[in-house]
Structure formats: C-alpha cells, structure tokens
Chains A and B, each alone.
Chain A
Amino acid sequence: MRVETAASVRYGDGQRFVPVVVGEFSNLVAHYPIFFSKDAQTGSFYCGAMLGIDEGENLFLTEGRNFDAYRPMNLQRGPFYTAGSDIAIDLDHPRVGESGQALFEDDGRPSPYLAGVINLFRDLKPGLDQTKVFIETLLVMKLIEPVDISLAFDDGSKRQLEGLYTINRDRLKKLADDKIVELFHRGYLQAIYLMIASLKQVPVLAQKKNSRLAG
C-alpha cells in the first residue's frame, strides 16, 4: 500500500477553505487570508485559510506541479486522521493505492514519509485543541466579528463571500490592559495580529482569480 503525495484536485486538494491551527499562522500569513468560519453541522467556529474564491477552487494548485505555497497541515495529512490517540488511514481516500510513497521500509520500520506524518500529527492534534481555546477566549472577549467581502472581476462577474469572520479591531483597541497582557502571555496577541495582517492577502488572492478568469 502506498500513498500519493502530489498536490492535485483528484487527490482532494481542490478546497477553497481549509481548517488550520494557530501554530500555522506565521507560515500561512505569507500566502493566504486567515478567517474564522462556522462548521455547518455544529455552528462552532474554526480557523481557516482561504485558498480560492469559488466552491472547490484552490488557486494555489497547478496540476502537474507541487503546491505553490506553504501547504496547510490539513492538506498535508492526506488520507490520515486521528481516531482517539491513534493515527488511522482512510483506505477509500483517492491518495491510497499502488503508487506513491511507501509507508514502511522493507524491514518493516516506518518509512521517512510515515515518520513525517506522525510528526505532523504531533503538531496538528494539540494544535486543534489550542485553536479551540484561542477561539473561545476571543469569543468571550467579543473580539470576533462578521466580515462581508465583495469582489468584482475584470470579466464583469462579482462574488460575495459569506460566512467569514475576523478580528474586531475596534474592540481590540478598547480592551483593558490586563486583558491585553493575558492575550500576550498566551501567545494570542501574535495570532490576532497575524490574522489581521493576513487580510492583505485578500486582494492578492482576488488578483490570482482575476488572472484565471482572464486567461
């Protein structure tokens, strides 16, 4: 059994909005806007990186080439997921087959690829819990607000991005000193400013989309 690691729509990389964890923000901010959004099933907030504008669209994916930018952990993990404290593999995942990276060496030891996956989950699993606490803290401090983004493209088409939330900067400015210090010590202040800075990636992403529409 092998796992295909190339980035491709047919391997499930065609995702417009990918859940991310706080620990990734500094890698993400150079490429993607980071927003909060709500899980459609539970209504709970999560953090996500925006990779495209339309449903199923990943503007950082060029078929036949590898990922153009830092690849969010949720895409790196491929067919693997956590089941309790174990790492499990989804055998029906399109990446799983006869080609690609082997999971084990001939002598039965885990391959460097599998070791990498195990390493990834060492960051990803606690990262999801940390991100949850980060969001809960921001909600209590009322630092999250909905944001409406309207985009107009050169071909005349328009997009209205819905269901996105970002940092409420007015409230952040008015936050009491002790709260700011608390956010700082927990590492949240940096995460907050990375999210704010990541908004600068929205026009960049829109420009990518514009080029695709044109050409």
Chain B
Amino acid sequence: MPDMIREIVVVGGGTAGWLTAGAIAARHQGRMKSGFKVTLIESPDIKIIGVGEGTWPTLRTTLEKMGVSETDLFRHCDAAFKQGARFARWTTGEEDDGYYHPLMLPQGFHQVNMAPHWLAQGKGRSFCDYVTPQGALCDDGLAPKTITTPEYQAVANYAYHLDAGKFAPFLQKHCTEKLGVHHVLADVAKVNQAENGDITSLTLKQGGELKGDLFVDCTGFSCLLLGKTLGVPFKDCSDILFCDTALALQIPYATPDDPMASHTISTAHSAGWTWDIGLPARRGVGYVYSSRHTSEEEATEELLRYIGPQAKGLTPRKIPIRGGHRETCWKNNCVAVGLAAGFLEPLESSAIVLVELSAKLIAEQMPANREVMDIVARRFNEVSNYRWGRIIDFLKLHYVLTKRPEKFWRDNTDPATVPDRLQDLLKLWKHQPPWFLDEFDRLEEVFPAASYQYVLYGMGFRTEVDPNDNEPTEDLAQQQAGENAAMTRKLRTQLPRNRDLLRKIQEYGLQPI
C-alpha cells in the first residue's frame, strides 16, 4: 500500500524527543524487519532546555516498557526518589502552614471514600496522615523501597527527581543502541509539504533530505513543524496561571551526607513559589513568579533569602515561561509532543508525564495508513485538549484556596481568573467530596480524584458531611484508617534512609526481579 505509515521522523532531541522515539520504537520492534523505521533528527548545536527535574510514577512503567534498567537510570542520571510534594505556606503563609500531595492513593481508595469520614472525625490529624503513610515517610526522610525490592517495584509509590541534562543523552544511548532508533545530527533548512499541507520531507542544511510518513515535532518552544510550518496557533493561559518567569539555581551540598528529601518542597512566596528538589549530587532550587507582581530584583532577593547562606556567590539563571498550549497538537501528518505542544508552570511536574501520555498514545494508536490518520489525530486532539484543561484546573486549584494577603494571591482568587469548570467543581465539592464517578473518569486521567482530595483537604477546604450518609461505610472506613496507621508504623521502622538506599543502589544495584 502506497500510503502506509512506516517512517516516523522525530524532530528534536530533548527529553520529549527521545522518550517519544523510544516509546514508538519499543512498541513497534516487531515491525522493524518489515520496514518500520524511527529516525530522530536533532541539531548538532541546539542546547536542550531540560524541563523540570520532577516526574510522575508513570515514568517507571514508561522506562520499563522501553527496556531501560532502573539501576542504570539511578547511576547515569543523578536520579533520586520522589514520593510527592510538600506545599509549604500556600494556605496562610505562616511558618507551620503546609501539606503533602503524596503519590500513594488513600488507603482503600477503591472501596470507600475516606474523605467524608476524615471530615467527620479526623480531627487533629491531617487528611494525608489519616489515609496514607507517605507524609510520615517523607517527614522521616525515608526511601520508598529497600535494596531487596526489585527494579521499578515500590513499597510506597514513587517517581523520580533527575538531572534532565543527563536524562536525554541517557535515553539517546538506549534508543540508538537497544531499540534501533536512527539518529541524524543535522539542522532543518526547509520543511517540504504536499498540496494538502502534509509534510513530505525535511531538507537538511548539511545536505540531503529526510522523508517521513509521520513527523513528531519535539522542537521545544520554537514549534518548527506544527506552529511555524502548519500554522497551529498557541493558546495562552496567563489569564489563569500568572507565573511567567523562573529563576533557577543549583546548590551544592555542604557535605556529601547532607539529608536529602524524597519529595519536592514547594514553598509559596509573595508572587509565586519555589521548587526545591534534592538530587544525590546537588539541590535544584528555583523561583517561579509573576513578573506582573514583582520585579526580577525582588524575586532574586526572595529566592536567595529562601536558600540562605548556601546561595552565597551563586547567580540564578533566568528562564521565561510561556504558559499555554497549541490549539490542536496533531495536524495533518504532524503531532507535537513536549514543549512544542505546550508548557505549564512545573507546580505538579506535569511536563514529562504529558510527554509520556502523548508518546504512549501515538505508539499504541499508530495509524496504519494516511487515510485513518485523521481519525487518530481527532481523538488525540480531543484527549490532549481535555488533559491541558484538567491540568490547568488542577494547578489553579492550588491558588484559589489561599488566604495569603499579597496581591499576587488575591488576584489569583478573583473568580474572573478561575475556569468555569473549576468553579463548578468547587461549588459541588462543598457538598460532596471528589471520588469515583466525579468528572475524573478517563482511563488515563493525569490527576485522579485522590490528587484533588489531597490538595483540597490539605488547604483546609471543608465539605459538608451528613453523618447519616457516612454511617453505612463507617466500619469499613475505621478499619482502613486502622490499617493505614498500622502500615505507617511498620514502614517507618522498615524503610531505609533515602540517601542510604541511593548510595546502595550506586554500589550494588537493584535486582530485575
């Protein structure tokens, strides 16, 4: 058949490019002998941005499917465990104000909604502690598994913090050596199109032409194929999420044994928030803020004050953030993944998980020929737009429940800046807590109802609870709360210190089973 989709060209060699190329190549290994081919082309001199150092637990499955060894990931990407995030000073701004968004689901989540039971009787204990051990594990600085736990398996659910600058070359090596991805180092001089707009080939500056049936645009913010060539417009969302600048720093540890958190510490400041991520070799810290609410000088000062004496002599790197996404991510025979598709502030580490979800969808739904590609594209766009919307809602949720007095925070609570759907949900949740059969019913929801519960009840949101409605599940809920308390006690004595386990993995490795 003339229009079979067999040659996949991924343009751009950052995290998005290599994850997508790897996912497609791994899924279609069997077809490689009959002419299926994945090529990744990247410019020999563009530096990758290296978005975010936080990931989601999905990355474990993604990498396992690609055949990557988790031990290698830890050894080559300066990777560490991430068990969620702690949001400090987001609600009142006081010293003791903080809550966890852990990665474990609440105990018995599929059997009983613990939220109304906690609301009725969880007094004195945080929602997180009532339903999961993970907050306590983070407080104690413990790892989410032991040296005898096999690769990719968890005792407590986890994702990674990693050095994005090392992650892309690590994936490149795996994709080219193990998965048969062709790697071309060249610049795109011209994008050639057919009459219907389809991209037929790329003319290379260094000479030659690269043909393809499906082009994946991973060219980052420049969005060379989908944006510049096919003219798909960018949808800005700075009216909802105000942060537009980041100041980033890498901070060395005072001693190699300095304690290292196994969660992201996200602290609210006057006009935004800081991320604080512990990698084995260094900390990554950055201030994400709204330039409409503070100046670069003030923001720098606030960041350095947060870091303290260790920031002495360091100058932050300034990164502009353009929050938003392409109106459609798949047009003609071109689909954008990663920054080319869009970017949102890294508050919930949504960048890499979105790459994974897109890559998986492309790999699994790879259209057989050009004729059916439009059907797949339509579905891809529908689900992508849904995801962008849900992530924007979820990020905004972190801002709307604040009681902080600064203008940035007051402006964030202005209903005119809150998406309608989120406003409806907040209204609804005054009377019923989020759970199943709420709106989060997609097979691959980025943030499940549990995430909303952790943020809502972590920030002091109150849902009215009818005791009569709780009664039928009272015993079950109490049993689950008891099991959670028992598991918390057990894990606190059994799990090793975060840094100790990471050191052991460097030395002995994790076993594949």
| B351-403 CB contacts (< 8 Å) to partner A | none
Interface status of B509 (Cβ within 8 A of chain A):
yes
Are A144 and B513 CB-contacts (below 8 A) given A42-B504, A44-B508? yes
Are A42 and B147 within 8 A (Cβ)? yes
Are A43 and B510 CB-contacts (below 8 A) given A38-B148, A163-B148? yes
Q: How far is the CA of A165 from the CA of B512 in the complex (A)?
A: 13
Chain A hits for B510, CB < 8 A: 43
Chain A hits for B147, CB < 8 A: 38, 40-43
The number of residue pairs between A and B whose CB atoms lie closer than 8 Å in the complex comes to: 33
Q: Identify the 4 closest CB pairs spanning chains A and B, nearest first.
A: A43-B147, A42-B508, A38-B148, A43-B148
Chain A hits for B504, CB < 8 A: 42-43
| B142-168 CB contacts (< 8 Å) to partner A | 146-149
Interface status of B479 (Cβ within 8 A of chain A):
no
Q: A38-B148, A44-B508, A165-B513 are in contact. List 19 more A-B contacts (CB 8 A).
A: A38-B147, A38-B511, A39-B148, A40-B147, A41-B147, A42-B507, A42-B508, A43-B147, A43-B148, A43-B149, A43-B504, A43-B511, A45-B511, A139-B511, A139-B513, A142-B512, A142-B513, A145-B513, A146-B513
B501's nearest neighbour on chain A, judged by CB, is A43
Q: How far is the CA of A43 from the CA of B513 in the complex (A)?
A: 11
Q: How far is the CA of A39 from the CA of B509 in the complex (A)?
A: 12
* A135-166 near B? 1/0 per residue, CB < 8 Å: 00001001011100000000000000001010
Q: How far is the CB of A179 from chain B (nearest CB, A)?
A: 17
B511's nearest neighbour on chain A, judged by CB, is A43
Q: How far is the CA of A144 from the CA of B509 in the complex (A)?
A: 17
Q: How far is the CB of A35 from chain B (nearest CB, A)?
A: 13
Chain B hits for A41, CB < 8 A: 147
User: Which residue in B146, B149, B511 is a CB contact (below 8 Å) of A44?
Assistant: B511
Q: How far is the CB of A147 from chain B (nearest CB, A)?
A: 11
| B484-513 CB contacts (< 8 Å) to partner A | 504, 507-513
Q: How far is the CB of A148 from chain B (nearest CB, A)?
A: 14
Chain B hits for A42, CB < 8 A: 147, 504, 507-508
Q: How far is the CA of A139 from the CA of B513 in the complex (A)?
A: 8
Are A40 and B513 within 8 A (Cβ)? no
Q: How far is the CB of A212 from chain B (nearest CB, A)?
A: 29
Q: How far is the CB of A213 from chain B (nearest CB, A)?
A: 27
Chain B hits for A39, CB < 8 A: 148
Q: How far is the CA of A38 from the CA of B151 in the complex (A)?
A: 13
Report whether over half of chain B's contact residues are helix, strand or loop; otherwise say mixed.
loop
Chain A hits for B148, CB < 8 A: 38-40, 43, 163
A163's nearest neighbour on chain B, judged by CB, is B148
Q: How far is the CA of A139 from the CA of B509 in the complex (A)?
A: 13
Q: How far is the CA of A144 from the CA of B513 in the complex (A)?
A: 8
By the criterion of a CB under 8 Å from any partner CB, how many residues of chain B are at the interface?
12
| A33-60 CB contacts (< 8 Å) to partner B | 38-45
A135's nearest neighbour on chain B, judged by CB, is B511
Chain B hits for A142, CB < 8 A: 512-513
Chain A hits for B509, CB < 8 A: 43
> Which positions in A face B, CB cutoff 8 Å?
38-45, 139, 142, 144-146, 163, 165
Chain A hits for B508, CB < 8 A: 42-44
Chain B hits for A139, CB < 8 A: 511-513
Q: A42, A145, A165 — which one has the most chain B CB atoms within 10 A of its CB? A: A42
Q: How far is the CB of A185 from chain B (nearest CB, A)?
A: 24
B507's nearest neighbour on chain A, judged by CB, is A42
Chain B hits for A43, CB < 8 A: 146-149, 504, 508-511
12 A/B residue pairs, CB under 8 Å, sorted by A: A38-B147, A39-B148, A40-B147, A41-B147, A42-B508, A43-B504, A43-B508, A45-B511, A139-B513, A145-B513, A163-B148, A165-B513
Chain A hits for B511, CB < 8 A: 38, 43-45, 139
Q: How far is the CB of A123 from chain B (nearest CB, A)?
A: 26
Q: How far is the CA of A121 from the CA of B327 in the complex (A)?
A: 72
Q: How far is the CA of A165 from the CA of B147 in the complex (A)?
A: 16
Q: How far is the CA of A163 from the CA of B147 in the complex (A)?
A: 13
Q: How far is the CA of A44 from the CA of B149 in the complex (A)?
A: 11
Q: How far is the CB of B492 from chain A (nearest CB, A)?
A: 18
Q: How far is the CA of A132 from the CA of B513 in the complex (A)?
A: 16
A146's nearest neighbour on chain B, judged by CB, is B513
Q: How far is the CB of B36 from chain A (nearest CB, A)?
A: 24
Chain B hits for A44, CB < 8 A: 508, 511
Q: How far is the CB of B67 from chain A (nearest CB, A)?
A: 12
Q: How far is the CB of B452 from chain A (nearest CB, A)?
A: 36
Q: How far is the CA of A139 from the CA of B508 in the complex (A)?
A: 15
Q: How far is the CA of A29 from the CA of B239 in the complex (A)?
A: 73
B510's nearest neighbour on chain A, judged by CB, is A43
Chain A hits for B146, CB < 8 A: 43
Q: How far is the CA of A165 from the CA of B150 in the complex (A)?
A: 12
B147's nearest neighbour on chain A, judged by CB, is A43
Chain A hits for B507, CB < 8 A: 42
B146's nearest neighbour on chain A, judged by CB, is A43
Q: How far is the CB of A70 from chain B (nearest CB, A)?
A: 28
Chain A hits for B149, CB < 8 A: 43
Q: How far is the CA of A44 from the CA of B148 in the complex (A)?
A: 8
Chain B hits for A146, CB < 8 A: 513
B149's nearest neighbour on chain A, judged by CB, is A43
Q: How far is the CA of A120 from the CA of B295 in the complex (A)?
A: 76
A43's nearest neighbour on chain B, judged by CB, is B147
Q: How far is the CB of B64 from chain A (nearest CB, A)?
A: 14
Q: How far is the CA of A40 from the CA of B511 in the complex (A)?
A: 12
Q: How far is the CA of A165 from the CA of B504 in the complex (A)?
A: 22
Q: How far is the CB of A51 from chain B (nearest CB, A)?
A: 21
Q: How far is the CA of A42 from the CA of B510 in the complex (A)?
A: 9
Q: How far is the CA of A148 from the CA of B107 in the complex (A)?
A: 25
Chain A hits for B512, CB < 8 A: 139, 142
Q: How far is the CB of A42 from chain B (nearest CB, A)?
A: 4
Q: How far is the CA of A165 from the CA of B511 in the complex (A)?
A: 12
| B113-167 CB contacts (< 8 Å) to partner A | 146-149
Q: B146, B147, B148, B512 — which one has the most chain A CB atoms within 10 A of its CB? A: B148
Chain A hits for B513, CB < 8 A: 139, 142, 144-146, 165
* B286-330 near A? 1/0 per residue, CB < 8 Å: 000000000000000000000000000000000000000000000
Q: How far is the CA of A41 from the CA of B510 in the complex (A)?
A: 12
Q: How far is the CA of A44 from the CA of B509 in the complex (A)?
A: 8
Q: B509, B512, B513 — which one has the most chain A CB atoms within 10 A of its CB? A: B513
